Amino acid sequence: MSDAADLLIANDSPSEASTLDLASVEVSAKSFLGLAQPSCLTETLRLRLTDQCYLPKADAPLRDWVARVACPAFLAYRRKHPEAAAALRRFCTIGTGAGLDALAAAEVLKPAMIAVTDLHRAVVDQAMANVLANLKRPDSVILRSGVGDLLAPFAGSGLSFDLIYENLPNIPLPADISLEDGQASSSFIAPRREALPPLARDFLLDLHVAFLLQARGFLSPGGRVLCSIGGRLPLRAMLHSFAAVDFSAEILLYSWKIQSEPEEVIGGYAEAQSNGRGPFHFYLAEDLDAAFAGAAPVQSTSEALALESALAPKRIDPASALKLHRAGRTIGHTTVVIEGRPTAGS
């Protein structure tokens, strides 16, 4: 993972990214993000994207992380913690990409400050431009941004956050790919240097746990993290990984989505399992749709564990899931948002 850590100034005008010939997508704040009547965002969100930016699934919200996971998680957090949400002042999102998660947070949580990070300067510059372009009142929020590894860009800045959100990749970086290549950093991670619990390495949670280790130094008193994880591994492995680094862990949201980039992602998990990691699992999308039909979008930890157990007979190992995908079947996976905070005395 890159060691670069550059702090950019609040509400900086974007630099070279704004002059590039960028791809663009448009999504509806109401229908795509499921927001009843947006008050902070423009009706149509127009996002420009660099080559290294993860592409929002504008035509397929069932495949999109922000539409399917991040925005519902922010809504769930507001319902579960109305007082904390009302008092929330400083929000941070790690690995923002297009900045769509920051926009969702601006609408749902309405923090006074939003901070974003990503590995690539052009991505961060464009995410800042996207946030400013799609707020009805761009001067209503202070923006901070940083380029580099996780929260490292904010080291020494004195910043602390009431809520930090992450949706980080899991698959080990292949030897023939660089994190600078296209959207590689959206799916792959380079080897970490931290001492991480064996369970995290076994289940490809390295980057999530590395984030927790860093987040401890950036949370305000009472601050929380929201970790968004593809549920291709047992829920208890996720919960135990949090406990191993002295974080509480409670499932805030348990849902599902269709697997995006299936060749790359399912193939990556298949290779990891063949190398002794895991085991990992996927599902047919139709089985997930049936299992979650009528379920409340907010699940407690106990309810999520019970639903996971009910789904167990439908699990498909990664190699079989890849074959089914190539045969034309639609593959999905569960999604988990874990709410955590440092445990007392840790």
Letter string b/e over residues 247-258, b meaning 16 or more CB atoms within 10 A of that residue's CB: bbbebbbbbbbb
Give pLDDT, residue 4. 39
pLDDT higher than threshold 50 for residue 2: no
User: Which region among 102-106, 253-257, 296-300, 315-319 has the lowest average model confidence (pLDDT)?
Assistant: 296-300
The band of 192, judged by pLDDT with boundaries at 50, 70 and 90, is confident
pLDDT higher than threshold 50 for residue 151: yes
Tell me how crowded residue 26 is: count the other CB atoms within 10 A of its CB. Answer: 11
pLDDT higher than threshold 80 for residue 271: yes
Give pLDDT, residue 297. 61
**Could you check whether the bond before residue 279 is cis, i.e. omega within 30 degrees of 0?**
yes
* Average pLDDT over the chain, rounded to an integer: 89
Give pLDDT, residue 345. 66
For the stretch 242-264, pLDDT in tens is 999 999 999 999 999 999 889 99
pLDDT higher than threshold 80 for residue 3: no
Beta strands 331-340 and 250-258, pairing class:
antiparallel
Q: Are 245 and 205 in contact (CB under 8 A)?
A: no
Give pLDDT, residue 184. 66
The band of 172, judged by pLDDT with boundaries at 50, 70 and 90, is confident
pLDDT higher than threshold 60 for residue 101: yes
pLDDT higher than threshold 60 for residue 5: no
Residue with tokens 């601050």: 223
How far is Cα 305 from Cα 145, in angstroms, rounded to an integer? 36
Give the burial class of 302: count Cβ atoms within 10 A of its Cβ; 0-12 exposed, 13-18 middle, 19 or more buried: exposed
pLDDT higher than threshold 90 for residue 175: no
User: Which region among 101-115, 166-180, 235-249 has the lowest average model confidence (pLDDT)?
Assistant: 166-180
Residue with tokens 């902070």: 40
User: Which region among 6-10, 199-203, 302-306, 319-323 has the lowest average model confidence (pLDDT)?
Assistant: 6-10
Counting every residue written for the chain, the total comes to 346
pLDDT higher than threshold 60 for residue 6: no
Question: Which tokens sit at 80?
Answer: 């579960």
pLDDT higher than threshold 50 for residue 13: no
Q: In terms of pLDDT, which residue wins out, 216 or 23?
A: 216
Region 311-320: what's the mean pLDDT? Answer: 98
For the stretch 277-288, pLDDT in tens is 999 999 999 999
Looking at the chain, the whole-number percentage of residues with pLDDT higher than 90 is 75
Give pLDDT, residue 61. 86
Instruction: Name the pTM for this structure.
Output: 0.92
